[in-house]
């Protein structure tokens, strides 16, 4: 049974790798009126891929979909307006001009050997804290309803660490969660994507401390634990454990055995936080 599970996981993982290589957007730096933008536009075949990809996402129950061009531009603009108080512009060639944040993308930061493991854990905590702030904001969903924001693709590749002041900013809002999913499910799904995509870039011995950093960062110093989100995250860990899907493995390429270990570490961190009712110390594993 274990062998069959592992083989299935490897196959889905291979598909995930292929999926991760599919680029539906073009992104390039552009200077306009002495301001630097990350200009973003769908590729010409984007609509076709999005339509077929969304059928696949629906069938797998991923709970997310990629937005078609117009809806994506509306959502990205709405998020930047509400979260960053910035009005986005589109140029005459259809590039959406997104003001560039200065700093280092979390994925790149974690892959660099220039930073210590403690610094990496601090960065993860910051990204998780910033995700919880994002979740506390209400925006208009593509269907016109006001809902608490969730990212939809909250991986380490979509958050940037600024240096002064030290903060983490989320970008890339072209995926959206299904409106039918409740807020706690959507927020837990963002935490799942962050946790696994961070783990992809760290050695397994750090999984317990990374799980604690994610949970503690998200809960902050408050004694009031966001229990429903942590419960939804624990539920999602157990649910996906036996149902790997290639979208998740495209977001985060973690091997089968590492994934098992990580699932356990994350469940432990959730349990610890809920039992403690306040911040807990992270455990360090040395082997």
Q: Which residues bind ligand ATP (CB under 6 A)?
A: 23, 25, 27, 38, 40, 98, 100-101, 105, 157-158, 160, 171-172
> Cβ 158 to Mg ion, closest distance in Å?
5
Selected range binding Mg ion among 66-74, 80-88, 134-142, 164-172, rule: CB under 5 A: 164-172
Residue 263 found at the interface with Mg ion (CB under 5 A):
no
Strands (DSSP E) found in 137-285: 138-140, 146-148, 159-162, 167-170, 175-177
The packing angle between helices 183-199 and 227-241, to 10°, is 60
Q: Taking a C-beta distance cutoff of 8 angstroms, is the pair 253, 17 a contact?
A: yes
**Residue 38 contact, options Mg ion, ligand ATP, none, Cβ 5-8 Å cut-off depending on partner type:** ligand ATP
Residue with smaller CB distance to ligand ATP, 105 or 267:
105
Selected binder of Mg ion within 73, 130, 150, 158 (CB under 5 A): 158
> Cβ 261 to ligand ATP, closest distance in Å?
27
Give the separation between CA 28 and CA 159, rounded to whole angstroms: 17
**Residue 105 contact, options Mg ion, ligand ATP, none, Cβ 5-8 Å cut-off depending on partner type:** ligand ATP
Residue with smaller CB distance to Mg ion, 132 or 157:
157
Residue with smaller CB distance to ligand ATP, 38 or 82:
38
Buried b (16+ CB within 10 A) or exposed e, 146-169: eeebbbbbbbbbbbbbeeeeebbb
DSSP code of 159?
Answer: E
**Residue 27 contact, options ligand ATP, Mg ion, none, Cβ 5-8 Å cut-off depending on partner type:** ligand ATP
How far from 235 is each of 54, 74, 134, 200, 202, CA to CA, in Å?
Answer: 24, 32, 22, 21, 24
> Cβ 25 to Mg ion, closest distance in Å?
8
Calculate ∠ Cα 131-121-126, nearest 5°.
25
Residue with smaller CB distance to ligand ATP, 88 or 237:
88
Residue with smaller CB distance to Mg ion, 172 or 263:
172
Strands 104-105 and 138-140: unpaired
103: left (phi over 0), alpha (psi -120 to 50) or beta: left
Give the separation between CA 174 and CA 23, rounded to whole angstroms: 12
Selected range binding Mg ion among 165-173, 208-216, 218-226, 232-240, rule: CB under 5 A: 165-173
Residue with smaller CB distance to ligand ATP, 99 or 220:
99
């Amino acid at each position: 049974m274990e062998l069959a599970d592992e083989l299935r996981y490897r196959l889905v993982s291979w598909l995930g790798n292929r999926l991760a290589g599919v680029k539906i957007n073009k992104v390039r730096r552009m200077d306009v009126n002495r301001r630097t933008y990350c200009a973003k536009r769908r590729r010409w075949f984007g609509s076709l891929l999005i339509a077929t990809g969304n059928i696949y996402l629906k069938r797998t129950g991923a709970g997310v979909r990629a937005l078609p061009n117009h809806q994506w531009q509306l959502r990205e603009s709405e998020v930047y307006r509400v979260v960053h108080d910035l009005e986005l512009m589109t140029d005459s060639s259809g590039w959406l001009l997104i003001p560039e944040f200065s700093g280092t993308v979390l994925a790149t930061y974690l892959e660099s050997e220039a930073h210590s493991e403690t610094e990496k854990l601090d960065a993860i905590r910051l990204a998780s804290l910033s995700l919880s702030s994002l979740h506390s904001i209400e925006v208009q969903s593509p269907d016109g309803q006001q809902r608490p924001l969730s990212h939809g693709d909250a991986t380490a590749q979509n958050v940037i660490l600024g240096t002064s002041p030290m903060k983490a900013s989320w970008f890339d809002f072209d995926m959206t969660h299904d409106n039918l999913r409740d807020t706690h499910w959507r927020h837990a799904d963002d935490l799942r994507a962050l946790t696994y995509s961070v783990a992809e870039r760290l050695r397994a011995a750090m999984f317990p401390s990374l799980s604690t950093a994610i949970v503690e960062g998200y809960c902050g110093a408050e004694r009031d634990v966001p229990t429903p989100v942590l419960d939804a995250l624990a539920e999602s860990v157990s649910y996906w454990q036996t149902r790997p899907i290639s979208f998740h493995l495209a977001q985060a390429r973690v091997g089968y055995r590492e994934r098992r270990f990580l699932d356990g570490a994350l469940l432990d961190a959730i349990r610890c936080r809920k039992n403690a009712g306040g911040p807990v110390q992270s455990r360090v594993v040395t082997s």
